[in-house]
Every structure is written in structure tokens, then in C-alpha cells.
Structure 1
Amino acid sequence: MNRPSDGDLSIDTVLRNTYKVLSILGRGGMGSVYLAQHLRLPGKQVAVKVLRGGDHLTAEIFARFRREAEIASRLGHPNIVEVLDYDTLEDGTPFLVLEFLRGESLQSRLERGRLPLHDVYSFTRQMGSALQAAHGAGIVHRDLKPANVFLVPTDSGGVVGERLKLLDFGISKVLDSGTVQTQEAMLIGTPQYMSPEQAQGRNREIDARTDIFAMGCIVYEMMTGTPAFGAGGIAQMIFRVVYEPAAPLAPLCPEAPAHAIAAVDKALSKRIEDRYPDIASFVEDLTGSPLHTLSPAAGSHSGQPRHTGSPSGIALPSEGPPSLSNTLAPGSGRKGPDTGREGFEDTMAPGSSGSMGIVPPAAPVGFAAGGTGQMGLVQPAGFAAGGTGQMGLAQPASPRAAPLMDPPGLDPTLISQQAPALPPPVAP
């Protein structure tokens, strides 16, 4: 394998006698993503995501990288990124192989303004379907944001549409295990879309309703074209998330019916117990129709189940911090330590030996193996090209240097600092 001193793979490098590197799609502080060709399947292109070597790669980062592969492959949902393969280079550096997608991120779409309600409903239902599968398996995403939602143009039965893919389960929390105590006061997520419990570092309280808050933020932004809690510095955003309500939705989206506005308001409740108990409840109230699924209803994980006759309801995971994956850093020769940092250690069920502590859901009845991988993206005709921080950009006709960027699927979205002490709101 020809690997230059900067850690990048050379063009025409062949990985494990299977994937030939064609070009680099993006580069970040933690690694790079490449367009590659499958040598035994002519015409099949994939995206290969490789961690960058160095002393900064801890056992936690390797665990996160492996978790992204294992969660996506276990869930096997058509609205969740599909990881096709996981392996290591000759020097022990791990890499993921994902489907090469053509489309754009929701973040890129929102840069052009707010969305019509029919798109808001369609994208919300697809996102809700993905989260219903994840939550039913005891997995909380914890980093939902427009950059982790990808839109793929489809043509099925003569009807042109878009399929949504949910990306990057790398910092997700796996529940229903209890061997390592969770470290509090570590902020994990993206400030604009954090729930109040995340923003205050109350990580033991995180469950499926944390994702509901983030999804409420995304729906609000799709309906209005502006983030629910604005922009600015980390401290400012955290203060607004914890103490201040979002601007009233009705004036910003006058065509929205009352039931949709009420649904978003409830999803954005500051107190976790005031939000919807499950994602299906939110989607039904927002769109006016139940969220159906082909898979059997998940077993109950929460004391707040939604009792309905519809198969669309999911049960919430219960709390319980699992242990660190035994993913090894290259040359370590030992298991990664249990560090106690939530977001990386929540990977293993007690007594496991290499696979994550995910409660396998019942086998899906009708999910076809749909896949994605945010990594390799090509802007199709009709989509405005724009730098969105996504890993794959449209490849130009003439070669040029790969963009320097930190795509969301490469670097952990983790603010490694103690949660700031927030002052109480000042009375006007």
C-alpha cells in the first residue's frame, strides 16, 4: 500500500484487494474520505472513510469509528446510512466502506431557504421512521442536525422523489446496559440542536426524547428557514437552549396548521418529561397521520409508553450506561480502557467481546437493504452546488486539490469541556 507521509492514500491504492482509490472527496482533522471502485463488481463505486493516524487517535475514537459501522449495519433501515464494510489498512488504521450517494444534505437545501410544508412532512416522516428503528433498538442518535440528514433523488415507478438518509451514529448512546458509570458535565452534540439536558451536561438523563428535541429543532428550521435558537457563540446558544423559548412559529410559517405548530412547540419543551414520549407521537401530531412500520413494535424500554393500536408506536429506551468497546488502536496490543466518557464508552453490553451493546430488534419483515453513506456525494443536475461541510463534493472535470474541510461524519461532534455554569435568567 502506497501511503504518503501526510497520511493520505495515494490514487490507485488498492485496499484489501477490493477497493481501488479513484480520488479524494474530502479531508478533515480526523481523517479523509475517498471515492473508490470495487474491483470485483465492475461499475460499483463506494466511499471509503479512513481515520488519520497519529497519537491523537485514542481508544475512544476508534470505538466511535467502529460503532458507526456496527450500528448502521445492525439497524438495516432504508432511511439510515448503510455501511458496506469495515476493515483495517496494513498498518492497522481502520476504514469504513459506505455507499456512494448522489444528492445533497438537508443543510445545503436549507441554505436556499425554508421548505414547503409537503417537503417538511415527507422529510420528517422519513427521519421519524429511521429514529423509530433506532430507538426501538435502544439507540439514541444524540447528534441530529441538518448536516447529518442527506437527501437522495429517486425515481421509482415513474415518480420522482427524494429519499432521506440519516447519517453518523458515531456518538450515539446505546442503552440497556450498565457496567460503566457515565461521566456527567461533558457536552456531546452540536450546540444549535442540543437538548437542554445535553446543554447542561446531564448525560444520564439522555434518552429518545433527547432526539425528539433535536428533531423539533430541525422541523422548526425547515418550516421557517432559521435555526430555532439562532446562531452565535457556544455559551450564547447553550443559554438560549436551556432558558429561552424559540421565536413563535406561526408568524414565521403562516401556512402551517395549528396542529403542526403545537407539535413543534411540544417537541421543543425544555423539560424532558413535557415532550412526546416517542417519535411516532410527534410525527403523527405534526403530519396528521400515523407513522407506520413493517417491523414489529419494539419492546418497552420506558415508563412512558404510548398505548395505541397502531404499529407505529415505539418504546423508549431505559437508562443505563454501557461499557467501552474493545476496539484496539493500531499497535496497542490491549483493550481500550473503560474511560467513563459517555458518547464513546456506551458501546458494549456486559460480557460482549467485540460487538456493541445494541439490543437487536426483531428481524424486519419488509425492509429492503437500502443504503447510504454520506461520504461520497455528487451534486445532480438541479441542485445548487455549495460548500456545506459534507464529505463528498462534486468532482470537477479537471483535477484540483481536495478541499480542506471537517465533514460531519469524520470528527466527533464533541465539545471536550466541562459544561459551563449557566447563570439564571435576569428578570426584565
Structure 2
Amino acid sequence: MDEETVDIPITVVGLDGEVIALDDRTRALVQSVLPAAMNHLRIGEVIATGGVGSVRVAFDKSLQRRMALKTLQPGSYEYYLLVHAFIREAQVSGQLDHPNIAPIYELGRDPDGGIFFTMKLIEGRSLYSLIAGRPPRTPDQLQRRLDAFVKVCDGVAFAHSRGVLHCDIKTANVMVGAYGQVFVMDWGNALLLPPRAGAEDVWTHENLPPLRPEEADNIVWGTPEYMSPEQAQGRRKSLDERSDVFLLGGLLFELLTGRPLYQDPDPKRVLKMAQRGEVTPPDVVVGAAITFPPELVRICMKALALKPADRYPRVDDLIEDIKALLRGGGSFAVTSVAAGELVIREGEVGEAAYIVRAGTLQVFKKGGQGKVVLRELGPGDVFGETAIFAASPRTASVVALTDSELVVVTSKTIERELDAMQPWLAAFVRTLATRFGGVGSPENLA
């Protein structure tokens, strides 16, 4: 036997010297995966602790590397499910090689019989700690939160491509490094999807004894404050990628509002709220003091749809919409108009301008012999822009000739976009708007 390995104890020695004997089933589980204990690590101070496990700093004498070492609390060894989940977490996350998932280095046992796994030591803070229960107050804050959100989505999308659902996505399970690195942590509640044809070689697997039906079926796993309705109802077999999409929607909700989806002092009431899946839109939660881009609210609420069929089918689709928002245009609402519908009426006072995104419209004025057609509008054309600078009567009418989509631009959304600019550029644009806001012909300024 190698000098760095020792025989496995049949007991676990806790930090305070207490000795816990493993029952036959737990001992068989551990011995099937970890037949020998290791003695090449120097274990340091505790950096995080919880009811089930703790994380310590460790130094690998073989590789001369600092790392994080996660262990079970001594009392956790009395529960087979906790030991099973701990080993499974290491095996599952160890197969997910992605920049936004913390790498696992080793799964082993220490000389006292305790199970551990080592992973990248992340010097940073949790996303929960960073947002500190507060919504974003500036465009820069919102931008940083959305940048981190995209990285979380990237990690989760990769896991899905390997057949793994996280099932416990929340701000406390996301770590942000000192240099902007973002890591999705804590895969202990992960669910493995059935292998798909053509992906067997990359599909994540485990070699643990399966749980008994009463231990795996119709049991709620995760954090109720963030759960999808199907997860909160214990329908574990019905979960798929869209359940994680809901959790990502909950994460986005918290990044916008500073609070989780469901809040109540009574955990049972929280679970009931999650089972119903009733979500208040984030802009309603924060009130008038903070304004979010309408497109961002739409994205969040689509991810949080009650029915899985109404959510984004894949995380990649959610990422695409967020990235499109970050490229610009997310501050502006989009409205649909049917063929024959009047968009603006001559003589009425208006306060919005419109950009044609799809369809054909017609600009016309009243004339002595009836209506006088001024021009037709198509994708990319703008009309009604004088209303942005001052509420004034419309100089012409606009009607949809075909079913159309219009981007709605108001002075409020323009101001929000200007606030996000460099101050000197925003001042320059405001000056131009003031000087030239009244210039133009009726057919352009309807």
C-alpha cells in the first residue's frame, strides 16, 4: 500500500473528537467509492459552514496548491441521504468542465474516516452577499448584475448539454471572484437526465447505488423561496431544462429586486406560494422609484411563467434575449397593431414616437376632398418623434396597412438611456435634441 494511504476506518471522528459509527448501508456506500483514505493534505481554517457540511482551506503537499476542501459535518453521517448526496455532488460537478463551474480536484477520505472533496479555492463573495438585499440603483449596477447573470446562464446551459439539472440555483450558490469570475456552486441537488441519443460519450453519469423509491420520488429538494411550481410540488420526475430556466428567472428577479421570489416567516407558507407559482413582476415589487427596461421585465416574467411550456425552452434562448437587451434597445417597449388599426390621430396630443419593426403603415392628413396620403412606412422608419421633446398636437395620422410591430419611444425611456451614457455624451445629445427638436416636415413628425 502506498505510504500516503491508510486503511479505511469504520467510524468517523468529528472535529471535537466524537466518534460516529457508520451504519452498514452507509459504510457499504462509502467503501464502494472510496476504498482508502488519503493523507497528503494539510487542512487549514474553516471558511464557511452550514448544517450539513463545512468548507476549509487545504494545501495539497503533492501539487503544492491551495484549494478548498468540503467535508460533511459529523452529524450528517447519521443520514444516508446526506452522505449519498455529498458523494454524488463531487462526482457530478467533477464531470462539468466549464469556466463558470468550480472545478473538482479530488474525492477522498481523510485518516479519521471523514469524506471530503477538494475544489478550486474561490477568493471572492457570494452573489447574495454582493447584492446585499438591494435592487440596482444605477445603470452601471444593473449592467454588472446582468453580466454576472449571463455567466451563470452559460454554466447552467453547459450542464444541461451534459444532462445535468442544477435544481438549486440562487444567489447564495453563485460565487463571484475578485477579478469578475463567476462560478455556479453546490450541485448537491442536481438531477441527471436520461441519456440522449448521440450524446452518450459526454453525458454525465454516477456509479452510486440508486436511492429507494421512497427516498427519491415526490420529495421536495431545493430552496422553496426560488422553486418552480413543479419542483415545489415534488414532481421530481417531471423536471427538465425549463425547471432550471424558472430558477434562473428567480435569480434574475432577485438581481432586480434584491429579494427572492417568495418571502414569508413561515416555511410552509413559502412552499405553498412556490407550489402556486404566483410571481409579482419585478417592476411592481420595486415601485416607481426604480425603472427597469420593459424588455428586461418581459424576459424575467417569461422565464418565470407558471407553465413550463410558456417559459424559454432552453437556457440558450434566455441568454440570447439577455444579450440582445445588453446590445441595446431593451429600454423600449414593443407593441403590436392589427391591419386597419389607427396608431396616432391627427390633432390629438401625443407623447410617444414609434419605430417600425415589422409591417407597413401609412401616413395621411385630412384634405378638402378627403384624406391625403403622405407616405408609407416600413421597417426602420420613425414617426411621431416631436412628441418626445414636447407634448403637441399630431400633424398627421398613421394607420397600419398590415399587421405590424412598433417600438415605442417616450421621453422617459430616452432619459433613461441618456443616464446610462457618459455624462458628456448625454449632455451633447440633449443639446442637439433641444436645438433641432422642432425641425421637420409633417410627414416625418406625425
TM-score with structure 1 setting the length: 0.59
CA deviation map 1:200-230 (0-9, x unaligned): 1111111111111111111011111122222
CA 1:187–1:103 in 2, change beyond 3 Å: closer, same or farther? same
Give 2:236's aligned residue. 203
- The runs of 5 or more residues in structure 1 that have no matched partner are 155-161, 292-428
Aligned residue for 1:232, secondary structure, equals coil
* Most deviating of 220-229 and 143-152: 220-229
Does 1:98 pair with 2:119? yes
Larger Rg: 2
User: Amino acid of the residue matched to residue 32 of structure 1?
Assistant: S
Aligned residue for 2:234, secondary structure, equals coil
Q: Distance in 1 between matches of 2:277 and 2:74?
A: 42
Give 1:163's aligned residue. 181
CA contact (8 A) 1:117 1:256 kept: no
Give 1:137's aligned residue. 162
Aligned residue for 2:253, secondary structure, equals helix
Give 2:271's aligned residue. 238
1:269 alignment partner, one of 293, 305, 317: 305
Q: Distance in 1 between matches of 2:161 and 2:12?
A: 44
Aligned residue for 1:101, secondary structure, equals coil
Give 1:71's aligned residue. 92
After TM superposition, give the deviation of residue 244 of structure 1 in Å. 5.5
Does 1:280 pair with 2:316? yes
CA deviation map 1:307-332 (0-9, x unaligned): xxxxxxxxxxxxxxxxxxxxxxxxxx
After TM superposition, give the deviation of residue 98 of structure 1 in Å. 1.4
Question: For this pair of structures, how many residues does the alignment match?
Answer: 278
Give 1:36's aligned residue. 58
CA 1:45–1:279 in 2, change beyond 3 Å: closer, same or farther? same
After TM superposition, give the deviation of residue 95 of structure 1 in Å. 0.8
Q: Distance in 2 between matches of 1:129 and 1:57?
A: 36
CA 1:31–1:226 in 2, change beyond 3 Å: closer, same or farther? closer
Aligned residue for 2:57, secondary structure, equals strand
1:19 alignment partner, one of 37, 41, 59: 41
CA 1:106–1:55 in 2, change beyond 3 Å: closer, same or farther? closer
After TM superposition, give the deviation of residue 39 of structure 1 in Å. 1.8
Aligned residue for 1:23, secondary structure, equals strand
CA contact (8 A) 1:242 1:270 kept: no
CA 1:200–1:76 in 2, change beyond 3 Å: closer, same or farther? same
- The runs of 5 or more residues in structure 2 that have no matched partner are 1-5, 18-36, 197-209, 328-446
Give 2:28's aligned residue. none
After TM superposition, give the deviation of residue 8 of structure 1 in Å. 1.6
Q: Distance in 1 between matches of 2:12 and 2:235?
A: 42
Give 1:214's aligned residue. 247
Q: Distance in 1 between matches of 2:16 and 2:265?
A: 37
Aligned residue for 2:95, secondary structure, equals helix
Give 1:8's aligned residue. 15
Does 1:172 pair with 2:190? yes
2:101 alignment partner, one of 77, 80, 93: 80
1:206-355 equivalences in 2 (<5 Å): 206-243=239-276, 245-251=278-284, 252=286, 254-288=290-324
CA contact (8 A) 1:124 1:283 kept: no
After TM superposition, give the deviation of residue 289 of structure 1 in Å. 6.2
After TM superposition, give the deviation of residue 54 of structure 1 in Å. 5.4
CA deviation map 1:339-363 (0-9, x unaligned): xxxxxxxxxxxxxxxxxxxxxxxxx
CA 1:21–1:244 in 2, change beyond 3 Å: closer, same or farther? closer
CA deviation map 1:259-318 (0-9, x unaligned): 211111111111111111001111222331699xxxxxxxxxxxxxxxxxxxxxxxxxxx
Give 1:50's aligned residue. 71
Q: Distance in 2 between matches of 1:79 and 1:70?
A: 17
Q: Distance in 1 between matches of 2:87 and 2:172?
A: 21
User: Amino acid of the residue matched to residue 217 of structure 1?
Assistant: G
After TM superposition, give the deviation of residue 41 of structure 1 in Å. 4.0
CA 1:71–1:56 in 2, change beyond 3 Å: closer, same or farther? closer
Aligned residue for 1:74, secondary structure, equals coil
After TM superposition, give the deviation of residue 120 of structure 1 in Å. 2.5
Q: Distance in 1 between matches of 2:116 and 2:167?
A: 23
Q: Distance in 2 between matches of 1:269 and 1:20?
A: 48
Give 1:303's aligned residue. none
CA contact (8 A) 1:264 1:286 kept: no
CA deviation map 1:93-147 (0-9, x unaligned): 3211112211100111121522322022201110110011101111100011111
The percentage of counterpart residues that share the same residue type is 27
Q: Distance in 1 between matches of 2:303 and 2:232?
A: 16
CA contact (8 A) 1:81 1:168 kept: no
Aligned residue for 1:187, secondary structure, equals coil
Q: Distance in 2 between matches of 1:225 and 1:164?
A: 19
Aligned residue for 2:300, secondary structure, equals helix
Q: Distance in 2 between matches of 1:54 and 1:228?
A: 31
CA contact (8 A) 2:52 2:82 kept: no
Aligned residue for 1:68, secondary structure, equals helix
Q: Distance in 1 between matches of 2:223 and 2:243?
A: 12
Q: Distance in 2 between matches of 1:255 and 1:181?
A: 48
CA 1:61–1:269 in 2, change beyond 3 Å: closer, same or farther? same
* Most deviating of 84-93 and 200-209: 84-93
Q: Distance in 1 between matches of 2:75 and 2:275?
A: 37
Give 1:407's aligned residue. none
Give 1:61's aligned residue. 82
2:221 alignment partner, one of 169, 174, 188: 188
After TM superposition, give the deviation of residue 29 of structure 1 in Å. 3.4
Give 2:384's aligned residue. none
CA 1:240–1:32 in 2, change beyond 3 Å: closer, same or farther? closer
After TM superposition, give the deviation of residue 48 of structure 1 in Å. 1.3
User: Amino acid of the residue matched to residue 261 of structure 2?
Assistant: A
User: Amino acid of the residue matched to residue 7 of structure 1?
Assistant: G
Measured on the aligned residues, the alpha-carbon RMSD in Å equals 3.0
CA deviation map 1:341-394 (0-9, x unaligned): xxxxxxxxxxxxxxxxxxxxxxxxxxxxxxxxxxxxxxxxxxxxxxxxxxxxxx
After TM superposition, give the deviation of residue 24 of structure 1 in Å. 2.5
CA 1:290–1:204 in 2, change beyond 3 Å: closer, same or farther? farther
CA deviation map 1:143-169 (0-9, x unaligned): 111110011121xxxxxxx11100011
User: Amino acid of the residue matched to residue 147 of structure 2?
Assistant: S
After TM superposition, give the deviation of residue 45 of structure 1 in Å. 1.5
CA 1:23–1:41 in 2, change beyond 3 Å: closer, same or farther? same
